[in-house]
């Protein structure tokens, strides 16, 4: 049994981080008599001079509904090196320094809350001898081996409410309103919020779009008497013959930032349809603030299960939601590939059945209709 465990929050923040920290602390102390050390600013807090503090039950009181993370987060730091060509690798000296500091601090094992990038760093710590259990965090819901990550459900609520609000103003002004949402290279937020909010067009990275196909959907709606349209565009969506659009390509200290496809579509659609088009970028509103009820529950369950996994001797695993149960899966499997929206997913089929356009070419649409179940 470990006497002291460390907990840290890696990558961008997501609603529910504090709820996980609370559950980790309560379970570790209350159930197993362990000490918990909070590591600040993601893995950076393990480098000299270290930034850590002991967390007791008193420190986590009132944390359940609070957004952000009391431990601070970093989404790129000293543990990842970015080459000239944009590829990322691991910086080996810093792992040695961090592991020595973990020994000095008396930390026997780590609970790491993170997305694919942070959990890949966590897996390296485990390979170098530090037992790790990961907790799947990201509003993007793009981690493999888990049906859901915490943070996604809250982001979805926020995006859906934004679509509801855009509907009324779009209708009043006979405009096309575009909502650009986050999601990096996957379209989970766009697809789910687009269906939940009744969008007419959803553009996701998994289905490259044709601007002409989007324009014809808007014209078709006009012919049927709807003078307004709602589009949800995932930040990673791209035209069939185009590239993803970045605000910033990133460097050693900063991860690349997607963004701009919404304004690109606005400009192109105005030209193709002659309609007034406006774009709203929802941005970090999707990440800030209180987690919803589902994320509080999921985060709490993940946090407790992570400590229980460590206590029964598991390591190099991530807690994961599968078929309404929390299980553990190998960390390497969880970070090997992003979980993208399958071309043939049921929700894509449903969306198409109710008339939502993905801006796909006729040929792609034909294949989708053959393969969807």
Q: Which of 45, 183, 187, 197 binds ligand F6P (CB under 6 A)?
A: 183
Does 182 contact ligand F6P by CB under 6 A? yes
Q: Using the minimum distance from each CB to ligand F6P, give the nearer residue, 36 or 158.
A: 158
For the bound state, the minimum distance from the C-beta of residue 258 to ligand F6P, rounded and expressed in Å, comes to 5
> Rounded distance, CA 275 to CA 298, Å?
43
Which region, judged by CB under 6 A, interacts with ligand F6P, from 172-180, 237-245, 251-259, 323-331? 251-259
Does 184 contact ligand F6P by CB under 6 A? yes
Q: Using the minimum distance from each CB to ligand F6P, give the nearer residue, 139 or 158.
A: 139
CA 38 to chain centre: 22
Q: Using the minimum distance from each CB to ligand F6P, give the nearer residue, 222 or 289.
A: 289
Q: Using the minimum distance from each CB to ligand F6P, give the nearer residue, 34 or 145.
A: 145
Does 295 contact ligand F6P by CB under 6 A? no
Radius of gyration of the chain (CA): 22
Three-state secondary structure call for residue 269 = helix
Q: What DSSP line would sit under 72-141, residue for residue?
A: ---SS-TTEEE-TTS-EEE-HHHHHHHHHHHHHHT--EEEEEE-HHHHHHHHHHHHTT--EEEEEB-TT-
For the bound state, the minimum distance from the C-beta of residue 302 to ligand F6P, rounded and expressed in Å, comes to 17
Q: Which of 25, 80, 218, 258 binds ligand F6P (CB under 6 A)?
A: 258
For the bound state, the minimum distance from the C-beta of residue 336 to ligand F6P, rounded and expressed in Å, comes to 18
Closest CB to ligand F6P belongs to which residue? Answer: 182
Contacting ligand F6P within 132-151 (CB under 6 A)? 138-140
> Rounded distance, CA 310 to CA 303, Å?
11
Which region, judged by CB under 6 A, interacts with ligand F6P, from 29-37, 81-89, 252-260, 269-277? 252-260
Which region, judged by CB under 6 A, interacts with ligand F6P, from 39-47, 89-97, 180-188, 213-221? 180-188
> Rounded distance, CA 236 to CA 331, Å?
25
The encoded tokens of residue 192 equal 């789910």
Q: Is 13 a catalytic residue?
A: no
> Rounded distance, CA 192 to CA 50, Å?
41
Catalytic residue among 140, 142, 157, 200: 140
Dihedral (CA of 125, 135, 147, 291) sign: negative
For the bound state, the minimum distance from the C-beta of residue 218 to ligand F6P, rounded and expressed in Å, comes to 27
Q: Which of 287, 296, 308, 339 binds ligand F6P (CB under 6 A)?
A: 287
Crossing angle of helices 92-105 and 116-127, in 10° steps, is 70
Taking phi over 0 as left and psi of -120 to 50 as alpha, with beta for the rest, 260 belongs to: left
Question: 322: how many CB neighbours lie within 10 A of its CB?
Answer: 12
**Catalytic residue ranges:** 140
Q: Applying CB under 6 A, which residues contact ligand F6P?
A: 12, 75, 115, 138-140, 182-184, 235, 255, 257-258, 287
């Amino acid at each position: 049994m470990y006497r002291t465990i460390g907990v840290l929050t890696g990558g961008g923040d997501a609603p529910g981080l504090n709820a996980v920290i609370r559950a980790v602390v309560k379970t570790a102390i209350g159930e197993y008599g362990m000490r918990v050390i909070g590591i600040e600013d993601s893995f950076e807090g393990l480098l000299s001079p270290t930034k850590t503090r002991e967390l007791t039950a008193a420190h986590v009181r009132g944390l359940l509904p609070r957004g952000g993370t009391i431990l601070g987060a970093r989404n790129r730091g000293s543990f990842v090196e970015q080459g000239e060509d944009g590829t990322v690798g691991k910086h080996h000296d810093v792992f040695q320094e961090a592991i020595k500091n973990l020994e000095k601090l008396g930390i026997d094992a780590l609970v790491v809350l993170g997305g694919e990038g942070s959990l890949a760093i966590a897996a390296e710590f485990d390979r170098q001898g530090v037992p790790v259990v990961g907790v799947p965090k990201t509003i993007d819901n793009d981690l493999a081996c888990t049906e859901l990550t915490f943070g996604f459900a809250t982001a979805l609520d926020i995006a859906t409410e934004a679509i509801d609000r855009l509907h009324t103003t779009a209708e009043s002004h006979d405009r096309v309103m575009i909502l650009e949402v986050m999601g990096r290279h996957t379209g989970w937020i766009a697809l789910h919020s687009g269906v939940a909010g009744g969008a007419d067009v959803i553009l996701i990275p998994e289905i490259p779009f044709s601007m002409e196909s989007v324009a014809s959907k808007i014209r078709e709606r006009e012919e049927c008497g709807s003078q307004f349209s709602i589009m949800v565009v995932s930040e990673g969506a791209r035209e069939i013959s185009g590239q993803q659009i970045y605000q910033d390509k990133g460097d050693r200290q900063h991860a690349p930032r997607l963004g701009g496809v919404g304004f690109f579509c606005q400009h192109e659609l105005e030209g193709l349809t002659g309609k007034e088009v406006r774009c709203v970028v929802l941005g970090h509103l999707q990440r800030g603030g209180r987690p919803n009820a589902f994320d509080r529950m999921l985060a709490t369950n993940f946090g407790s299960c992570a400590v229980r996994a460590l206590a029964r001797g598991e390591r190099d695993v991530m807690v994961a939601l599968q078929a309404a149960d929390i299980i553990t899966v190998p960390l390497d499997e969880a970070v090997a590939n992003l979980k993208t929206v399958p071309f043939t997913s049921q929700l894509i089929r449903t969306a198409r059945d109710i008339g939502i356009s993905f801006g796909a070419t006729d040929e792609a649409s034909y294949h989708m209709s053959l393969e969807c179940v």
